[in-house]
Structure 1
Amino acid sequence: MSVLSADAVTLAYGAAPVVHEVSLAVDEGGVGLIGESGSGKTTLARALLGLLRPRSGTIRYGSRDLAALDRSGRAEFRRAVQPVFQAEALDPRMTAAASIGEALTTHHRMSRAGRRARVAELLDGVGLDPALAARRPHQMSGGQRQRVAIARALAVEPRLLVLDEPTSALDVTVQARILDLLEGLAGGRGLGYLLITHNLGVVGRLCRTSHVLFAGRVVESGPTRDLLVHPAHPYTLALRDAVPRLGGEPPRASGRTEAAPAATGCPFRLRCPLAVDRCRDEAPEAREVTGRRVACHRAEDVLERALDASRWRGGTGHPAHHIQKGH
Structure 2
Amino acid sequence: MTSRETLGTEGVTLAYGTTAVVHDVTLSVGEGGVGLIGESGSGKTTLARALLGLLRPRSGTVRYGSRDLASLGRKGRAEFRRAVQPVFQDGSEALDPRMTAGASIAEALTTHHRMGRRERHDRVAELLGAVGLDPALAARRPHEMSGGQRQRVAIARALAVEPGMLVLDEPTSALDVTVQARILDLLERLTAERGLGHLLITHNLGVVGRLCGTSHVMFAGRVVESGPTGTVLARPAHPYTLALRDAVPRLGGEPPRASGRTEAAPAETGCPFRLRCPYAVDRCRDEAPAPRDLDGRRVTCHRAEEVLSGLAPVAGGERTGPGAPRQ
TM-score (norm 1): 0.92
**Helix, strand or coil for the counterpart of 1:54?**
coil
Structure 1 position 293 matched with structure 2 position 298: yes
Which of 209, 213, 217 aligns to 2:214? It is: 209
State percent identity of aligned pairs.
81
Structure 1 position 280 matched with structure 2 position 303: no
Structure 1 position 88 matched with structure 2 position 92: yes
Match of 1:32 in 2: 35
Structure 1 position 271 matched with structure 2 position 276: yes
Q: Is contact 1:2–1:25 with CA below 8 Å preserved after alignment?
A: no
Structure 1 position 302 matched with structure 2 position 307: yes
Q: Counterparts of 2:139 and 2:307 in 1: how far apart (Å)? A: 53
Q: Counterparts of 1:305 and 1:206 in 2: how far apart (Å)? A: 27
Q: Is contact 1:220–1:292 with CA below 8 Å preserved after alignment?
A: yes
Match of 2:107 in 1: 102
The higher radius of gyration belongs to 2
Which of 1, 4, 7 aligns to 1:4? It is: 7
Q: Counterparts of 1:110 and 1:307 in 2: how far apart (Å)? A: 62
Which AA in structure 2 matches 1:54? Answer: P
CA shift, 1:257, in A, is: 1.3
Which AA in structure 1 matches 2:249? Answer: P
Match of 1:53 in 2: 56
Q: Is contact 1:230–1:307 with CA below 8 Å preserved after alignment?
A: no
**Helix, strand or coil for the counterpart of 1:8?**
strand
Which of 143, 146, 154 aligns to 1:149? It is: 154
Which AA in structure 1 matches 2:67? Answer: R
CA shift, 1:20, in A, is: 0.2
Q: Counterparts of 1:170 and 1:31 in 2: how far apart (Å)? A: 22
Match of 2:323 in 1: none
Match of 2:173 in 1: 168
Stretches of structure 2 lacking an aligned partner (at least 5 in a row) = 314-327
Match of 1:79 in 2: 82
Match of 1:44 in 2: 47
Which AA in structure 2 matches 1:5? Answer: G
Q: Counterparts of 1:181 and 1:73 in 2: how far apart (Å)? A: 30
- Deviation string 1:122-151 (CA, Å, 9 cap, x unpaired) is 000001111111111111111111111100
Which AA in structure 2 matches 1:143? Answer: G
What is the total number of aligned residue pairs between the two structures? 308
Q: Counterparts of 1:175 and 1:280 in 2: how far apart (Å)? A: 41
Stretches of structure 1 lacking an aligned partner (at least 5 in a row) = 309-327
Q: How is 1:208-247 mapped onto 2 (pairs within 5 angstroms)?
A: 208-247=213-252
Q: Counterparts of 1:281 and 1:56 in 2: how far apart (Å)? A: 26
Q: Which runs of 4+ in 1 moved over 2 A?
A: 304-308
Q: Counterparts of 2:119 and 2:288 in 1: how far apart (Å)? A: 57
Relative to structure 1, the CA distance from residue 193 to residue 269 in structure 2 (aligned partners, 3 Å threshold; closer, same or farther) is same
Q: Counterparts of 2:81 and 2:228 in 1: how far apart (Å)? A: 28
Structure 1 position 258 matched with structure 2 position 272: no
